[in-house]
């Protein structure tokens, strides 16, 4: 008898959608505005999953608490929000995964630390089919990932049991959140992973190097 699976949840940036180029463009626009040199997209890509604060720190050498850091952070968000999806799209294989979930009659959702003001219009701009059945952002909860609260809220929205839910993410925080919620966790090695990160140390239940590998993994779990 196979594992009971009721839903699949994804992290957004670096797992479901490849947003790095649009985010990198926003940071580089801010750097130029401030008289600084643009950074290579590949360098920015590695820190995207750590959020806007990490991007500002990379570009300007500031840290949270520095007088100018907060201003730069909001400047970055303002620039990004004006052009959120020119180069963003689903990672290769994601559309096939979503079609497979539809064939299995399994809903999918997103749990992200990206604010709703950016997550919601981004998903609408990309218009994945079948559509996202649950979007949980930090605005919706008191505690964001790695706390299990947003994971549990997504399950409430979908009407699924966390123990029968898969969570896929490209950051240690994602795997910790899934584990804290009692979910089956999948580490997306194809995402925005820093060179110094040891994905094996995250102790995810499964690791994948390509989004399409979720399809045979799902089939395996359903049959085991």
Which amino acids are annotated catalytic? 11, 13
- Partners of 108 in the beta sheet? 8
Distance from C-alpha of 114 to C-alpha of 210, rounded to nearest angstrom: 23
> How far is the C-alpha of 58 from the C-alpha of 69, rounded, in Å?
11
105: left (phi over 0), alpha (psi -120 to 50) or beta: left
Rounded CA gap, 51 and 94, in Å?
22
Q: DSSP readout, 37-92?
A: ----HHHHHTTGGG-HHHHHHHHH---TTSTTHHHHHHHHHHHHHHS-SSS-EEPT
Beta-bridge partners for 10: 110, 168
């Amino acid at each position: 008898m196979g594992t009971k699976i009721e839903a699949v949840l994804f992290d957004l940036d670096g797992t479901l959608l490849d947003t790095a180029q649009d985010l990198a463009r926003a940071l580089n626009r801010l750097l130029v505005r401030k008289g600084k040199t643009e950074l290579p997209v590949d360098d920015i890509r590695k820190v995207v999953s750590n959020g806007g604060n990490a991007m500002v720190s990379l570009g300007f050498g500031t840290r949270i608490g520095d007088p100018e850091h907060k201003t730069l952070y909001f400047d970055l968000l303002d620039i990004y929000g004006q052009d959120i999806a020119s180069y963003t799209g689903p990672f290769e294989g994601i559309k096939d995964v979503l079609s497979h979930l539809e064939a299995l009659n399994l809903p999918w959702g997103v749990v992200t630390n990206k604010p709703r003001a950016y997550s919601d219009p981004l998903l609408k701009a990309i218009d994945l089919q079948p559509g996202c059945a649950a979007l949980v952002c930090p605005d919706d909860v008191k505690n964001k990932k790695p706390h299990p609260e947003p994971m549990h809220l997504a399950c409430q929205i979908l009407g699924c049991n966390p123990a029968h839910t898969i969570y896929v993410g490209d950051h240690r925080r994602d795997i910790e959140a899934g584990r804290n919620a009692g979910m089956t966790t999948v580490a997306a090695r194809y995402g925005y992973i820093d060179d110094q990160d040891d994905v094996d140390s995250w102790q995810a239940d499964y690791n994948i190097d390509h989004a399409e590998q979720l399809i045979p993994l799902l089939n395996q779990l359903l049959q085991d």
